[in-house]
Chain A
Amino acid sequence: MKEIIRTLTTGERQAALAIAICVTVIGLTMAALGNGDPFGIHGYVVMAYGLVATIFLIRCYNLPPSNVDRAGSYYDEPIKVAVVFSLAWAVVGMLFGLWAALQLAWPSLSFDLPWSSFGRIRPDHTTGVIFGFGGNALIGTSFYVVQRSSRARMPDQVAPLFVVLGYNLFCVLGATGYLMGVTKSKEYAEPEWYAGLWLVTVWIVYLIIYLRTLARRKEPHIYVANWYYLAFIVIVAILYVVNNLAVPISFTRAKSYSLFGGVQDAMTEWWYGHNAVAFFLTAGFLGMLYYFMPKRAGRPIYSYRISIISFWGITFFYIWVGSHHLHYTALPEWVQILGMSFSLMLLVPSWASAGNALMTLNGAWDKVRDDATLRFMMVAAVFYGLTTFEGSFMAIRPVNSLSHYTDWTIAHVHAGSLGWVAMITFGSLYAMVPWVWKKPSMYSPRLVEVHFWCALSGAVIYVLAMWNSGILQGLMWRTYNEHGTLAYSFVDSVVAMHPYYIARALGGLIFLIGVLVCCYNVFKTVRTPVDAFGPARRKVEDALGPVPLPRPASSPLPRPAE
């Protein structure tokens, strides 16, 4: 961290200090106003966060500046911070997931404490992995990709750090809030109004940095990965703001009530919820795929035109499909039918993306065999294809009548999150970590291999267990006996889930072990001096030095005339 401060000029140090002090004062005010309410406790959390930053900045204030040639280099320090946060959140989020899974198999594992019941820790799992792990990985890689593919340094020195640290403050407020029972109860948008306001502030700064970097680009074209990152940043902002419109009970209490109610609230929530999948968990990670896979494979993207079709297809079609979460409910049927129809159409751009990715690997399959990093990306593309097919299938009304409310949904979500999102993230991190820390390769390619097999087997066990339990559950709920009455009571289906809940926890545990291996490997990569990497290793992995830019969407087809 001290190295980061050393890259700042005196003026920038003052600006950073001013922001840190502002955060501390905001926290102090919240703590004073919200006495006796979780709002006050969150005030102390904000204050502590700001205070740590303030003290650190004061202690490092007089460090001599480093002689980094700013104009001639990329700004990678915020990326490093984001990578560390991402891995830390991965461990925290998955630990909560594992604990929640175990509670379903053995409910006494909640230890009967108010803060540790399933209902309170489940959002910690989802927020930890989606926003903590995924969000930090997205911010980190987007900063990396936008600079390289634009051949331009980010415009400001303090703002990117503010985005990374500010975003993590939001995650901390969310995760600690749920344990105290602070939640808006809207899935994947649980943090309360003040955390939301803070996130919007951070996000606007993020968008501005991104646009300004693009504006400084020395390439005439914006590379395809940036289209996706841009869509991710701007659409997530719109979704989040609309879905989180709420009226706080008072400005000294954490609780608020959603502006929308009933059926309109349900539609808004799932318009948001499914497009969090679309623009957070798909568009952003496709940005990773479109940069790191061609780089690692040493092959250009297979088709520029398919990239264009799938990009606009995903951007346009996805937004319609949220209502497939509400089949057969009190939502008007015309909206349900629209959601189903567009879900089916969405398969075209989704498979175009997955196919484009896999075709990119043509000519590099020997590398896929030998290089676990590239194999992570390949498996991610395969899971992406499978999950999008399953998603469209589950959006068909009669299929949904069986799958909805069951563990089949959980299987689908984890095929997407473990198989696609996490795999492409690990692939990208293994590629990017040596580049930003200026190391010849990862510390241990063998441990990458270990992680790969843990991740794959963990994901497969998890998904198979939940497919089985989900379909079994759905069938038990709708089975009639010969007298024309329901054959099973609800609790019969609960009992039947027990073995699958154990298998699911096992799959999750294996996946988590892989993540721990990853953390160790990244830690050792960062700590091991360059000289300690064997000369033979340097030839296998990417060479040290400035990373050459990928040719902008090199296409076998001639470009349209101007």
Chain B
Amino acid sequence: MLFNVHYRLERRTTTLLIGIVVAASIGGLVEIAPLFTIEGTVEAAPNMRVLTPLEVAGRDIYVREGCYLCHSQMIRTLQDEVDRYGHYSLAVESKYDHPMLWGSKRIGPDLARIGGKYSDEWHVRHLIDPRAVVPQSIMPRYAFLAQRDLKTAELGENLAALRAVGVPYTRDMIDNASADATAQVAADSSGAAALLKRYGEATNVREFAGSTSRVTEMDALVAYLQMVGKQTNIEDDAGANKKPPDND
């Protein structure tokens, strides 16, 4: 039967083309389309926070430098991963990630729960010279981040684009994006209060890379790293019960 059908197909270009497209479409439709419709694919997290403009800028730097090529952000449901990195990752935690940064390779360790694990100072020193902190590290040096001023003027465009793909930024957040980015490193400024009002009291507001007057790319990246895994309260809610469902 197959041979007879094929025998007809291979003499007609367009029919063969349609046959190929049909055969190759089924799998994708069955596996991907339901992910958008089946409830429960992504868990509910009512109090999920969005990244601040400074953290968005940091995430863009994380993408720009290709950090995702060596560091995953996806802890699997395996006992050793949970013991090493913390609670396994839930789908909701990367709900606002466009694109996702789950990664595929661990040349360095997973970073899904890096937020709050180390001090800002540790991150800055480590990014400037990884081997000064971890002698055996093979990570590149990112000292230039501390020298480069962050371009904050156009961050509103970034937030607007993220809103277009589904991240719930408000008009207020978009309009004040560049002011918020500057305010996040200056805790005592008047802008900081407005920032906290917009993004919530739990927002990290401090001088990430050691200066309140200047916002560098280092500030942005460290602010982002301190927020990775902290957008939901998964880890706090789960408490001590970290038993993963799979144990092989």
Q: B88 contacts which chain A residues (CB < 8 A)? A: 330
Q: A321 contacts which chain B residues (CB < 8 A)? A: 27
Q: Cβ of A398 and Cβ of B248 under 8 Å apart?
A: yes
Contact with B along A169-188 (1 / 0, CB 8 A): 00000000010011111110
Q: Cβ of B31 and Cβ of A327 under 8 Å apart?
A: no
Instruction: Report the separation of the CA atoms of residues A123 and B96 in the bound assembly, to the nearest whole angstrom.
Output: 25
Q: Size range of the interface on B?
A: 35 or more
Contact of A494 with B by CB under 8 A: yes
Contact of A351 with B by CB under 8 A: no
Chain B, residue nearest A114 (CB): B144
**Known A-B contacts A253-B154, A560-B3; A231 and B25 likewise in contact (beta carbons under 8 Å):** no
Contact of B106 with A by CB under 8 A: yes
Pick the contact of A485: B83, B102, B158, B161 (CB < 8 A). B83
Contact of B67 with A by CB under 8 A: yes
Contact of B202 with A by CB under 8 A: no
Contact of B239 with A by CB under 8 A: no
Contact of A409 with B by CB under 8 A: yes
Instruction: Report the separation of the CA atoms of residues A238 and B27 in the bound assembly, to the nearest whole angstrom.
Output: 13
Q: How far is the CB of A125 from chain B (nearest CB, A)?
A: 11
Chain B, residue nearest A107 (CB): B138
Chain A, residue nearest B83 (CB): A486
Q: Cβ of A267 and Cβ of B104 under 8 Å apart?
A: no
Contact of A490 with B by CB under 8 A: yes
Contact of A222 with B by CB under 8 A: yes
Q: How far is the CB of B150 from chain A (nearest CB, A)?
A: 14
Q: Cβ of B23 and Cβ of A312 under 8 Å apart?
A: yes
Q: A238 contacts which chain B residues (CB < 8 A)? A: 21, 24-25
Contact of B35 with A by CB under 8 A: yes
Chain A stretch 396-434: residues in CB contact (< 8 A) with chain B: 397-398, 401, 404-406, 409-410
Pick the contact of A227: B3, B16, B140 (CB < 8 A). B16
Q: Cβ of A211 and Cβ of B17 under 8 Å apart?
A: yes
A-B pair count, CB < 8 Å, reads: 264
Contact of B197 with A by CB under 8 A: no
Q: Cβ of A265 and Cβ of B139 under 8 Å apart?
A: no
Instruction: Report the separation of the CA atoms of residues A269 and B72 in the bound assembly, to the nearest whole angstrom.
Output: 15
Chain B, residue nearest A232 (CB): B20
Q: How far is the CB of B209 from chain A (nearest CB, A)?
A: 17
Q: A220 contacts which chain B residues (CB < 8 A)? A: 11
Contact of B44 with A by CB under 8 A: no
Chain A, residue nearest B62 (CB): A185
Contact of A122 with B by CB under 8 A: yes
Stretch at the interface among A53-61, A194-202, A332-340, A532-540: A332-340
Pick the contact of A214: B13, B36, B42, B69 (CB < 8 A). B13
**Known A-B contacts A238-B21, A262-B95; A328 and B35 likewise in contact (beta carbons under 8 Å):** no
Pick the contact of A230: B16, B42, B74, B130 (CB < 8 A). B16
Contact of B38 with A by CB under 8 A: yes
Contact with B along A301-336 (1 / 0, CB 8 A): 000010011001001111111110111111110010
Chain B, residue nearest A495 (CB): B136
Q: Cβ of A262 and Cβ of B94 under 8 Å apart?
A: yes
Instruction: Report the separation of the CA atoms of residues A267 and B36 in the bound assembly, to the nearest whole angstrom.
Output: 11
**Known A-B contacts A320-B27, A560-B3; A187 and B97 likewise in contact (beta carbons under 8 Å):** no
Q: Cβ of A263 and Cβ of B60 under 8 Å apart?
A: no
Instruction: Report the separation of the CA atoms of residues A248 and B165 in the bound assembly, to the nearest whole angstrom.
Output: 10
Pick the contact of B94: A227, A268, A330 (CB < 8 A). A330
Chain A stretch 202-260: residues in CB contact (< 8 A) with chain B: 211, 214-215, 220-222, 227, 230-231, 234-235, 238, 242, 246-250, 253, 255-260
**Known A-B contacts A261-B99, A263-B42, A328-B76; A335 and B31 likewise in contact (beta carbons under 8 Å):** yes
SS class, residues of chain A in contact with chain B = helix
Q: Cβ of A405 and Cβ of B105 under 8 Å apart?
A: yes
Contact of A491 with B by CB under 8 A: yes
Chain B, residue nearest A308 (CB): B6
Instruction: Report the separation of the CA atoms of residues A215 and B89 in the bound assembly, to the nearest whole angstrom.
Output: 52
Q: Cβ of B32 and Cβ of A264 under 8 Å apart?
A: yes
Q: B194 contacts which chain A residues (CB < 8 A)? A: none
Instruction: Report the separation of the CA atoms of residues A159 and B28 in the bound assembly, to the nearest whole angstrom.
Output: 32
**Known A-B contacts A185-B63, A230-B16, A257-B165; A110 and B42 likewise in contact (beta carbons under 8 Å):** no
Instruction: Report the separation of the CA atoms of residues A264 and B154 in the bound assembly, to the nearest whole angstrom.
Output: 28
Q: Cβ of B17 and Cβ of A494 under 8 Å apart?
A: no
Most buried by B among A110, A246, A263, A331: A263
Q: Cβ of A339 and Cβ of B65 under 8 Å apart?
A: no
Contact of B100 with A by CB under 8 A: yes
Q: B95 contacts which chain A residues (CB < 8 A)? A: 261-263
Instruction: Report the separation of the CA atoms of residues A226 and B190 in the bound assembly, to the nearest whole angstrom.
Output: 67
Instruction: Report the separation of the CA atoms of residues A234 and B25 in the bound assembly, to the nearest whole angstrom.
Output: 11
Q: Cβ of B36 and Cβ of A112 under 8 Å apart?
A: no
Pick the contact of B4: A271, A329, A332, A560 (CB < 8 A). A560
Contact of B134 with A by CB under 8 A: yes
Contact of A480 with B by CB under 8 A: yes
Pick the contact of B13: A123, A211, A315, A338 (CB < 8 A). A211
Pick the contact of B99: A182, A227, A230, A257 (CB < 8 A). A257
The 3 closest A-B pairs by CB, nearest first: A119-B66, A319-B27, A181-B64
Cβ contacts A to B, 23 pairs, < 8 Å = A104-B138, A117-B65, A117-B140, A119-B65, A220-B11, A242-B28, A249-B160, A250-B157, A257-B158, A257-B165, A260-B98, A261-B167, A262-B94, A308-B3, A320-B27, A330-B88, A330-B94, A338-B30, A397-B248, A398-B248, A401-B76, A480-B80, A560-B7
The residues of A with any CB-CB pair to B shorter than 8 Å are 103-105, 107, 110, 112, 114, 117-120, 122-123, 178, 181-187, 211, 214-215, 220-222, 227, 230-231, 234-235, 238, 242, 246-250, 253, 255-269, 271, 279, 305, 308-309, 312, 315-323, 325-332, 335, 338-339, 342, 397-398, 401, 404-406, 409-410, 477-478, 480, 485-486, 490-491, 494-495, 559-560
Q: A117-B140, A271-B31 are in contact. List 7 more A-B contacts (CB 8 A).
A: A118-B69, A222-B13, A264-B36, A325-B104, A409-B105, A478-B80, A495-B136
